[in-house]
Structure 1
Amino acid sequence: MNDDIDETIDWRGQQVDCRACRHQDMLAEGKCRLSHACVNDRYARRIDRFFNWNPQLANDYLQHEHFEVRAIATKHAAVFLLVPLLDDPEETVRWNAARRLPKKHILKLRHDPHREVRIRIVSLLEDGDLVPMLQDEDYYVRQVIARKLAPNLLEWLVGDPEPEVRRVVAQRAEEKLLLRMMIDPEARVRIEVSKRLAPEFLARMRGDEDWRVRHEAANRIDVKLLAELAEDEDEMVRETARARLAQDGTRERASEQHRS
């Protein structure tokens, strides 16, 4: 099997030559195979297969010139050799090393220059260790943190300048924090708030400027408070409110007939 790629080219763009390889004796032993499991090939899948077959060689390749080789070697190399790779010029190498190292070593990557590394580091850290990242310049990093933080700690992000971050907060926050977010300036955030509020608190949003929030209110608040929404400027809000009122009136009449 050749991974559907016929060429056997190394990372410099030259043809792979098994005769010049330091591991040429392994070929006869079935420990490597051209176009399938080869550390000199430029295709990551073949490099990965080589180290899967020969994990004991990974330590020798942590300083290799090709970043793909270094990155893949970190999966099998001795952990105590990985710390220096946190300063590797390639983000893929830094991240792969971080995945296997104890937390105390990877905290420095919270300020990594590459956003993808910072995003991935979030998954390896717990609440307290994420605090220094709450002011990250990249909103998506903060959004990922909002998905990771414990709900009782989301207050730190309720005033985030990016609406998408606050929207995630609204999806996960506890009720006391949701009450503060009912007046968020961004409709996308208030919509998320309206979906999660208890009906008695949602009633306070029935005058919201966004029809989607009012529609949520029309669906769930006490029918005694629906009169205003039954005359709403938006057709969907009006119809929802009136349908509930009509249904409530039908139930009331049925109840009176039953009592009589």
Structure 2
Amino acid sequence: MTPAHASPPRSGRAPAGDIPMLTWQGQPIDCATCPHADMRAEQGVENGCERGHSCVQDAYARRIDRFFRAHRELANQHLDHPYFEVRAIAARYADLFHLTPLLRDEDETVRLQVALRVPQRHLLTLCDDPHREVRIRVAQRLDEGQLSRLLHDPDYEVRTVLARRLPLALLPLLVADADTQVRRAVAERIEMPALWRLADDRAPEVRRIVARRAPPGLLAALACDDDWGVRWQVAERLDARQHAALLQRLTQDEDPEVRAMAHSRFAPIPFVAGAPHGGHRP
């Protein structure tokens, strides 16, 4: 039942979803005691203040966000609000030079929003943040020249981001990473001859990438790999005119998919009018 002192939704709009209209402390929303109560006397939802839809008192993040989208000029005033969702959402809209105190906010949701916006010189402060999601955002935004600060991060996802962003000259530093996902990301970018260091990686999914990217002249070394997927990649890349013997061997492979791929590489070369004798493979 709505308290007598609480204003009903002005436009009759139903609250977003089925989430009740309560404050972050679990109490009914009281528009009369709100510091922004004067907005209710102006233009309703067009003014960005409507209980159950756009409200800074509400515990529901979407309603808080609607409020600050309409009132960016008020965001700076709410960066020290006791409710972490208000601080985090206000941080999306506040002036950049007001965000520095939030670098050490007690809640990771707030620090995550700060990591998405602060300038590079402040972003370095978050390299050692205790929460992985914050450090992941740091790794996504940090200048290339500073990424090496995160090379020994304990979280594999942070190091995976590094493997996708590090300058190529530094990628060999992650070749022996303990996590398969990191080494896969490294294998997708690293250049020869460092790529070949992953040819005997313990994870077949890493070796498959090596087989897909290595120079054709090195593929023979992978043709006897224990993983059928590696051998399939080898067969798929071999040219029948240059590696006939190796392909012939793969037509006898124990795996039917590998045999089928090897046989397909011996398919007749189609004749193309005007092409050199023997046609060409598209």
Q: TM-score, with normalisation over the residues of structure 1? A: 0.89
Contact 2:160 2:185 in 1 (8 A): yes
Does the alignment pair 1:160 with 2:181?
A: no
Aligned pair partner of 1:225 in 241, 246, 249: 246
Describe how 1:167-178 pairs up with structure 2 within 5 A: 167-178=184-195
* Cross-structure match for 1:252: none
- Aligned residues: CA RMSD: 2.1
Describe how 1:105-184 pairs up with structure 2 within 5 A: 105-184=122-201
Aligned pair partner of 1:208 in 225, 241, 247: 225
**Partner SS, residue 75 of structure 1:** helix
Aligned pair partner of 1:235 in 256, 259, 263: 256
- Aligned partners of 1:246, 1:8: CA distance in 2, in Å? 69
**Partner SS, residue 183 of structure 1:** coil
- Aligned partners of 1:238, 1:5: CA distance in 2, in Å? 57
* Cross-structure match for 2:27: 14
Deviation at 1:203, TM superposition (A): 2.5
* Cross-structure match for 2:63: 46
Does the alignment pair 1:244 with 2:265?
A: yes
Q: Which moved more, 1:177-186 or 1:164-173?
A: 177-186
Does the alignment pair 1:29 with 2:62?
A: no
- Aligned partners of 1:6, 1:44: CA distance in 2, in Å? 11
Deviation at 1:86, TM superposition (A): 0.5
Deviation at 1:5, TM superposition (A): 3.4
Change in CA separation of 1:6 and 1:190 when aligned onto 2, cut-off 3 Å = closer
5+ residue gaps, structure 2: 1-12, 270-276
Amino acid at match of 1:189: V
**Partner SS, residue 141 of structure 2:** coil
Deviation at 1:234, TM superposition (A): 2.2
- Aligned partners of 1:215, 1:70: CA distance in 2, in Å? 53
- Aligned partners of 1:241, 1:78: CA distance in 2, in Å? 61
Deviation at 1:246, TM superposition (A): 6.2
- Aligned partners of 2:18, 2:267: CA distance in 1, in Å? 67
Amino acid at match of 2:147: L
Contact 1:184 1:190 in 2 (8 A): yes
Q: Tell me the number of residue pairs that the alignment of Structure 1 and Structure 2 aligns.
A: 251
* Cross-structure match for 1:68: 85
Q: TM-score, with normalisation over the residues of structure 2? A: 0.82
**Partner SS, residue 216 of structure 1:** helix
